[in-house]
Amino acid sequence: GESVGLHLPTLSVQEGDNSIINCAYSNSASDYFIWYKQESGKGPQFIIDIRSNMDKRQGQRVTVLLNKTVKHLSLQIAATQPGDSAVYFCAESLQGAQKLVFGQGTRLTINP
Amino acid sequence: NAGVTQTPKFQVLKTGQSMTLQCAQDMNHNSMYWYRQDPGMGLRLIYYSASEGTTDKGEVPNGYNVSRLNKREFSLRLESAAPSQTSVYFCASSSRVSNTEAFFGQGTRLTVV
């Protein structure tokens, strides 16, 4: 069945350090894997996605890595800033189904 | 730009009462979604609508109904509210071209007592 989960529920890093948030998925048929950021009291916000035929994609200060062999997805945030403090969700999409399935989330805290 | 607008923002219901959560988007998106988010949990898909005139069940549809009134609006109805439906409800929309980038509303915090 469809299932997206996360390894760690909380992560604390020092401001300026790099952070890595991990995610495991189970549906090999998913076309895209996506990362969302949710700040307190707000709806989730799209960060970056990666197609299933890719293994790496870079954005501004963020990199997503996809390892289909072990069904693992990660989000790397470079030089973390206080504004990066949020809950990060991975999600997967099956294009034909036009729907997104979300994982549990990881709370990232940036320490000054 | 308003994006995705949900009403109301907060609601308290008694068990057995009914209500409709409203959602509208102004981005001309084809797909719309309703999710619920419980404390410490991810978002679970209740229903979605891939295009005007179509609706499909998600992971947790029991106890809910939806209406895709037109391309802009997608409502979620609780016919007989139960305490287990206490949650934060999010509406979202996405274009057909890139349904990975969904735009979310601010959420409706619903408490059923």
Over the stretch A74-99, which tens digit does the pLDDT of each residue have? 999 999 999 999 999 999 887 666 67
For chain B, residues with pLDDT lower than 70 are: 1, 96-98
Q: What is the pLDDT of residues B62-81, one digit of tens each?
A: 999 999 989 999 999 999 99
CA torsion B41→B13→B26→A92, rounded to 10°? 20
CA–CA separation, B59 and B68 (whole Å): 18
Q: Is B13 helix (H, G, I), strand (E, B) or coil?
A: strand
Q: Contact, A102 vs B35, CB < 8 A?
A: yes
Is residue A100 over pLDDT 90? no
Chain B contact present for A40, CB below 8 A: no
Who among B41, B48, B103 is closest to A99 (CB)?
B48
Average pLDDT over residues A36-50: 93
- Residue B80's Cα: distance from chain center in Å? 16
Q: CA of B65 to nearest chain A CA: how many angstroms apart? A: 17
Give the span between the Cα atoms of A22 and A105, in whole angstroms.
Answer: 10
Q: Which residues 16-55 of chain B have a CB within 8 Å of chain A?
A: 31, 33, 35, 40-45, 48, 50
Single-letter amino acid, residue B102: A
Place of tokens 């995705």: B4
Alpha helices in A5-105 (DSSP H): none
Calculate the dihedral angle through the C-alpha atoms of A81, A85, A87, A91, rounding to the nearest 10 degrees: -10
Question: Is residue A73's pLDDT more than 90?
Answer: yes
Q: Which residue of A has its CA nearest to B38?
A: A104
Cα A105 to Cα A19: distance, rounded to the nearest angstrom: 15
CB A61 within 8 A of CB A79: yes
Q: Specify the pLDDT at position A93.
A: 86
Region of residue A68 (left: phi > 0; alpha: psi -120 to 50; beta: else): alpha
Query: Which pLDDT value is given to residue B42?
Result: 82
Which residue bears the tokens 């609706």? B55
Q: Does A104 touch chain B (CB under 8 A)?
A: yes
